[in-house]
């Protein structure tokens, strides 16, 4: 039976005495770990009876509500209920990897809620531009003005839309974030650009830029807003807190963004513009490579604004050579998106990829393609950049450019027809498209990246009948599948494991291992559904739909990763016997925790039987359980 996580979280909060009785909250692989101010206020038997709760354990100063695989979702729902939740013990759902990977994950997650409207707006703009180009719609008519506003509004007001998911991500007030974003593109702020003489904020020089369609300034601003609000919430008296926190946030953040992000962006933009302009004079092919390769990156950071004035100035003289490399850059990204669309098995991408591809090719609007398809997978975005760089080389050599300010797209091609060496220019565009398409088609369609992002939705399906279907493969009744020992050591019956939840079998049938070696191996091949950042627990689903949990040590979540070196992450595909982690067993014992490792089949109810293998000792990768399904 499916469980509504928000309902379950609300019932648990009420059952333990309400939000005010919760001093801190975190979770491990299977349990909510609550610190209550007064455990006597908790209605333990009522909580045990809740659908979705396995049992309740009170130990070590913690009130542990055992949920199972769905615990991250219940914890997330609880965070929305509590005014201020405790620190999450595990950061397994947070960004990992190097700074670039973390930045990509961050931007992609913030864009995800608006991908469909963004895709629709891009497609709207593409067809409106096409109809105007074909003469079916008069682009000087009032009707066109209305439709153009409808298709442009989402892109223009992008900072406001991004403020909402960014505020949720950074735990800031969403409405205050929207107000801050709105101020950046308010007509009174935009109108300052027409003021004669220097513009200041009470004597401090104010460097203006257009924040319409920008991405990074509002994300950075809301990130800082979150810290400011949490600080104000701690220090301000309750009598004035509710209205003073948003007041001070708006008062501080709007000028701060205009005085810091604006100047930094303008300085970076001007430096790029000056460098590219100089490079075009010295080595057009190199300038084309830089502009074609990095155009989408410039757009991502809002740095392209520094190039627009130079492009406009060049067009005032009849021809802009800076626009030449942009056609290959945009079409290469669109081609990479098309390749993902043709190869992906990810259902949401298949639906999103079509409009994103059309808007990229027809209108030159690549935001839906970048944020919804290419950037989360990384390689398609990189292949698009590579294609754009190669196309830019040819554009520079051909003297490619435009006679009008157009979006670089298939519809805008007529503006490029004054290029001196047109065949060489279009050869470069064709190569750019080919690199973006074929590079992605053969090497870049990484559905694993999307599987990792979607893993929480997969873990939800812990119902016995839902798990096999989620794996995408039908089960053959009566087949016996071995589950291997994750570690070398002494086997103990599950009932003898010194943990009442595991020992009871409520989490599933299995076996305990008292390990003698600290290398943890995958007991089955399959996808990693759970990989706690602390390295102490891993959940894997096999292609047959068998779900296995390896929990190293008991209550080792309290070590916060000390002594554990994880080797895999959530969403990875692993082979049986592959190393999941290295563990310092002596450090666990020194900290006072049992090293007993639990191996259980969490969807035991979906199997015909789960039986421990015979013997008292076991070597890693020997059979520890036999599962018949």
| Cα gap 44→54, rounded to integer Å | 12
Place of tokens 């002594």: 563
Buried b (16+ CB within 10 A) or exposed e, 324-341: bbbbbbbbbbbbbbbbbb
| Cα gap 269→275, rounded to integer Å | 10
| Cα gap 70→39, rounded to integer Å | 24
| Cα gap 626→629, rounded to integer Å | 10
Catalytic choice (27, 521, 536, 551): 551
Place of tokens 């296995």: 548
Is 304 among the residues known to form the active site? no
Distances (CA, A) of 105 to 33, 97, 108, 145, 495: 27, 10, 5, 36, 42
Residues in Cβ contact with 289 at an 8 Å cutoff, skipping those fewer than 6 apart: 325, 389, 390, 392, 393, 396
| Cα gap 584→586, rounded to integer Å | 5
Catalytic choice (28, 304, 346, 629): 28
Is 551 among the residues known to form the active site? yes
Q: How many CB atoms lie within 10 A of CB 614?
A: 8
Reduced to 3 states (helix: H, G, I; strand: E, B; else coil), residue 501 is helix
DSSP-assigned letter for residue 474: P
* Positive or negative torsion for Cα 474, 475, 476, 477: negative
Residues labelled catalytic:
28, 551
């Amino acid at each position: 039976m499916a469980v509504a996580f928000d309902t379950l979280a609300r019932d648990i909060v009420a059952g333990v005495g309400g939000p005010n009785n919760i001093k801190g909250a975190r979770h491990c692989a299977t349990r909510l770990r609550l610190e209550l101010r007064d455990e006597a206020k908790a209605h333990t038997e009522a909580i045990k009876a809740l659908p979705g709760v396995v049992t309740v354990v009170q130990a070590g100063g913690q009130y542990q509500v055992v949920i199972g695989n769905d615990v991250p979702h219940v914890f997330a729902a609880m965070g929305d209920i509590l005014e201020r939740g405790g620190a999450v013990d595990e950061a397994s759902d947070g960004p990992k990897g190097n700074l670039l990977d973390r930045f990509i994950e961050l931007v992609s997650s913030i864009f995800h809620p608006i991908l469909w409207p963004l895709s629709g707006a891009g497609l709207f703009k593409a067809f409106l531009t096409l109809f105007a180009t074909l003469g079916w719609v008069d682009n000087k008519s009032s009707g066109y003005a209305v439709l153009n506003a409808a298709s442009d509004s989402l892109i223009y007001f992008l900072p406001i839309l991004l403020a909402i998911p960014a505020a949720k991500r950074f735990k800031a007030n969403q409405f205050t974030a929207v107000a801050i974003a709105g101020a950046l593109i308010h007509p009174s702020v935009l109108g300052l650009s027409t003021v004669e003489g220097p513009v200041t904020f009470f004597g401090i020089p104010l460097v203006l830029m257009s924040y319409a369609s920008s991405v990074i300034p509002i994300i950075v601003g809301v990130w800082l807003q979150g810290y400011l609000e949490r600080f104000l919430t701690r220090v301000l008296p309750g009598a004035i807190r509710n209205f003073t926190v948003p007041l001070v946030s708006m008062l501080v953040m709007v000028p701060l963004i205009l005085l810091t992000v604006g100047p930094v962006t303008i300085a970076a933009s001007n430096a790029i513009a000056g460098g590219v302009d100089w490079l075009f004079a010295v080595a057009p092919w190199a300038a084309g490579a830089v502009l074609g390769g990095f155009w989408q990156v410039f757009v991502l950071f809002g740095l392209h604004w520094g190039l627009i004035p130079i492009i406009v100035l060049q067009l005032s003289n009849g021809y802009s050579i800076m626009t030449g490399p942009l056609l290959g850059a945009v079409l290469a990204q669109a081609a990479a998106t098309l390749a993902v669309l043709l190869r992906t098995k990810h259902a949401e991408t298949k639906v999103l990829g079509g409009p994103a591809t059309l808007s990229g090719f027809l209108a030159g609007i690549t935001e839906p393609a970048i944020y919804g398809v290419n950037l989360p997978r990384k390689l398609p975005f990189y292949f698009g950049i590579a294609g754009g760089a190669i196309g830019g080389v040819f554009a520079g050599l051909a003297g490619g450019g435009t006679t009008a300010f157009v979006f670089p797209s298939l519809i805008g091609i007529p503006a490029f027809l004054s290029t001196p060496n047109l065949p060489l220019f279009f050869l470069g565009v064709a190569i750019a498209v080919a690199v973006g398409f074929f590079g992605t088609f053969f090497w870049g369609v990484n559905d694993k990246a999307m599987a990792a992002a979607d893993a929480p939705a997969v873990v939800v399906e812990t119902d016995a009948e839902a798990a096999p279907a989620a794996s995408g493969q039908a089960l053959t009744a009566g087949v016996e599948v071995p589950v291997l020992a994750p570690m070398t050591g002494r086997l103990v019956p599950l009932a003898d494991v010194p943990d009442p939840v595991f020992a009871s079998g409520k989490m599933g049938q299995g076996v305990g291992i008292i390990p003698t070696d600290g290398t943890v191996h995958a007991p089955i091949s399959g996808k990693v559904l759970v990989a706690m950042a602390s390295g102490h627990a891993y959940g894997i689903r096999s292609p047959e739909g068998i779900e296995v949990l390896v929990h190293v040590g008991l209550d080792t979540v309290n070590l916060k990763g000390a002594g554990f070196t994880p080797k895999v992450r959530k969403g990875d595909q692993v082979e049986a016997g592959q190393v999941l982690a290295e563990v310092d067993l002596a450090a666990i014992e020194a900290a006072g925790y049992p090293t007993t490792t639990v191996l259980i089949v969490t969807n035991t109810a979906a199997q015909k039987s789960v039986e421990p293998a015979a013997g008292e000792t076991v070597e890693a990768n020997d059979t520890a359980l036999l599962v018949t399904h």
